[in-house]
Amino acid sequence: MQQLIGIYGASGFGRELLPLVREQYPKASLCFVDDGSEDKELNGYKIYNYEDYLSLAYQDKSVVLAIADSKIREFLIAKCSKNNLAVLSVKASNTIVLDNVEIGEGSVLCHFTQLTSNIKIGKQFHANIYSYIAHDCVIGDYVTFAPRVSCNGNIHIHDHAYIGSGAVIKQGTPDKPLIIGKGAIVGMGAVVTKDVAAGAVVVGNPARPLNR
């Protein structure tokens, strides 16, 4: 059966994800799907808008979401499920996953991601290059890691949190995990030493709320 996979988001992250998809699904045809692009082609692959993608005659059609904004991912998943389009997971070939790791659907694990042992991760998790999650972490749905996030042991990250590039999160304990609240944003290079409230934006070392 001819398989077509659309990389949803013909932008920077889309260009980074396409080679991972190509490696993981070598028999599939690939293209980009984008609702905002004026271009017809990117890095040698066709770009379709969503409606045009739906009308392509393939028996097995699916998408991979290459969009960092978790709210957009949630919106696109609802749209794709209405049209019975599966949202695939992608895992780079050198990802390291140890024991008892549970991970939800639609996840993206870029090169050099490490998930150690006894970790639970919800759906639509995105880990950009060089990020790790250590033992006993619990990660919610639609959580996004920029490159090189260090998420140490016993940390709980709630839904839709965004962790910026190079952030380091101090480990919690089994009795008192360190908590990053729902929808919180941890800034680039932040060193998080204590809980972050839901919806808060924290920056710096040690990380403190950003007053905007």
Binding site for ligand UDP (CB under 6 A): 9-14, 34-37, 67-68, 72, 76
How far apart CA 152 and CA 72 sit, in angstroms, is 28
Which of 148, 156, 167, 161 has the alpha carbon at shortest distance from 205?
167
CB 8 within 8 A of CB 34: yes
Q: Which is nearer to ligand UDP, 54 or 191 (CB)?
A: 54
For CA atoms 17, 18, 19, 24, the dihedral sign is: positive
Q: Name the minimum Å distance from CB 151 to ligand UDP.
A: 20
Q: Name the minimum Å distance from CB 27 to ligand UDP.
A: 25
- Closest-approach residue to ligand UDP (CB): 36
135 is catalytic: yes
Q: Which is nearer to ligand UDP, 42 or 190 (CB)?
A: 42
Q: Which of 126, 135, 156, 160 is catalytic?
A: 135
Which residue has tokens 């990020």?
131
Q: Name the minimum Å distance from CB 67 to ligand UDP.
A: 5
Number of H helices, E strands in the chain: 3, 25
Q: Which is nearer to ligand UDP, 9 or 181 (CB)?
A: 9
Q: Name the minimum Å distance from CB 47 to ligand UDP.
A: 9
Helix (H, G, I), strand (E, B) or coil at 186: strand
Start-to-end CA distance of the chain, whole Å, equals 53
Q: Which is nearer to ligand UDP, 72 or 191 (CB)?
A: 72
Q: Where in the sequence numbering do the catalytic residues fall?
A: 135
